Amino acid sequence: MTSSCDIAVIGAGVLGLSVAAELRARGRGVLVVDPGGPNASSVAAGMIAPAMESLLDPWEPDPVGRAAVLRAARDLWPEFAGRHGIELIRDGVDWIGPDADGVIARLALLGFAAERTERGVFCPEDWRVDPVKALAALGQGVERLEGRVGAVRVKGEGWQLTLADGSEVSARAVVLACGTTFPELPEAVMRALGDVHAIGGRLAFAKLRLVERPARFVGGYAVPLGEGTVIGATMEAGGLLAEASGLQDTLLERACEALGLAEIGPVEWRMGVRGATADGLPLTGEVMPGFHLALAPRRNGWLMGPTVAGVVAAAF
Ligand SMILES: Cc1cc2nc3c(=O)[nH]c(=O)nc-3n(C[C@H](O)[C@H](O)[C@H](O)COP(=O)(O)OP(=O)(O)OC[C@H]3O[C@@H](n4cnc5c(N)ncnc54)[C@H](O)[C@@H]3O)c2cc1C
């Protein structure tokens, strides 16, 4: 079976769906191809967190410059969320841990407001979304095809996607937004992807509400989600480790200590793989005529969604 579309987006994570929603809003014909099921975007905690990411994961040699990039990415969110029907939760974040005055001073240096609280620091600058609900909102009205793309080849002046079941899709342009697993691609595209690497991550989903707003602590975070709480996350270089129970135990111990709990109670572990580049920022741009990338936002896929969508959509 062969179908055709104007722009084929490969991958229905936050980047693929943000790009698709943005292109659709601009009147372009878009088809998203994805096999379905959970992905890094759906299991993520959904934090839009320029302040805490800049504080806890400072990017040398210019942490202040990187903080400005992350803050600018966040500032696109209110308008983006409003236009795509996403609930943006602006309840800020607590730092529960040592050195409250030092944390406030470092946040100020990075350009973020914060104030002292009984347990540490409150910073109103980080926001969040419910990832599953936000993906549903982004996908609203976007045409989708369930399937895994096995190969993408040049065809005439456009592109041909061959799916794992043998069906084909021809498209005038392609946006590759498939995380860290790639179909067979032209060599020029593969060269551009040389930098992309995988970082596995696990989160514990607790049934109980353990925090009323997101909290960061040494080595982890707790974020309210629905009726429960997400506790995250491990960072597993190269992808998900075969054996990560030690990391999981440490994460829960740190959460108990920070939140002053004897135990977290029953949790369900979920996992995802983040794509990352050497400079920690997403990989976007047109690498061959009509072939665009929307990949590898590292720990900040939700934060960077509107930025990547804007960059890719502006190229059409
Ligand atoms: C544990 C964890 C917690 C996180 N928490 C946060 C957070 O709080 N805030 C934040 O900003 N970021 C967070 N992140 C990072 C963020 O989730 C990722 O950066 C982001 O989800 C990456 O989105 P993506 O669209 O690139 O990839 P993905 O979400 O992985 O989506 C890629 C999609 O492509 C599909 N696909 C793959 N191969 C093919 C193929 N051949 N054909 C068709 N489709 C294909 C997959 O099925 C998948 O649906 C977290 C990540 C993890 C793992």
CB of 178 closer than 6 angstroms to any ligand 1 atom? yes
CA-to-CA dists, residue 211 to 23, 227, 232, 235, 238, angstroms: 37, 11, 13, 22, 31
Q: What is the pLDDT of residue 305?
A: 98
| Pocket of ligand 1 contains residue 144 by CB under 6 Å | no
Does residue 177 lie in a domain region? yes
Pick the closest to residue 176 from 186, 166, 164 (CA basis). 186
Mean pLDDT in consecutive groups of 10 residues from the start of the chain, 316 residues: 93 98 97 98 98 96 97 98 98 97 98 96 98 98 98 97 98 98 97 95 97 97 97 96 95 97 95 96 97 97 98 97
What lies within 8 Å, CB to CB, of 160 at 6+ separation is 152, 153, 154, 168, 169, 170, 171
pLDDT of the residue at 2: 83
In sequence order, what are the beta bridge partners of 201? Answer: 272
Distance 134 CA to ligand 1 centre (A): 13
* Ligand 1 near 274 CB (within 6 A): yes
Q: Does 88 fall in a domain? A: no
Domain membership of residue 17 (yes or no) is: yes
Whether ligand 1 lies within 6 angstroms of the CB of 301 is answered as: yes
pLDDT tens profile 260-299: 999 999 999 999 999 999 999 999 999 999 999 999 999 9
CATH number for the domain spanning 21: value is: 3.50.50.60
47 lines ligand 1 (CB under 6 A): yes
Specify if 31 maps to a domain. yes
Structural domain count of the chain: 1
Instruction: Tell me the CA–centroid distance for residue 165 and ligand 1, in Å.
Output: 23
pLDDT of residue 95: 98
Q: Tell whether 184 is covered by a domain.
A: yes
Pick from 11, 8, 294: nearest CA to 171 = 8
Output the pLDDT for position 33: 98
Distance (Å, rounded) from C-alpha 170 to C-alpha 107?
49
Would residue 293 count as lying in a domain? Answer: yes
Span from the CA of 121 to the centroid of ligand 1 (angstroms): 30
Q: Give residue 136 CA to ligand 1 midpoint distance, Å.
A: 14
User: Cβ(260)–Cβ(222) under 8 Å?
Assistant: no
CA atoms of 292 and 197, how far apart (whole Å): 18
> Which stretches within 121-211 are classed as H helix?
131-139, 187-192
Global confidence as pTM:
0.98
> Looking at the domain assignment, is residue 7 inside a domain?
yes
- The pLDDT of residue 1 is 76
**Could you report the per-residue pLDDT of 145-174, keeping only the tens digit for each?**
999 999 999 999 999 999 999 999 999 999
Domain span at 19: 2-42+135-195+278-314
- The answer to whether position 264 is within a domain reads no
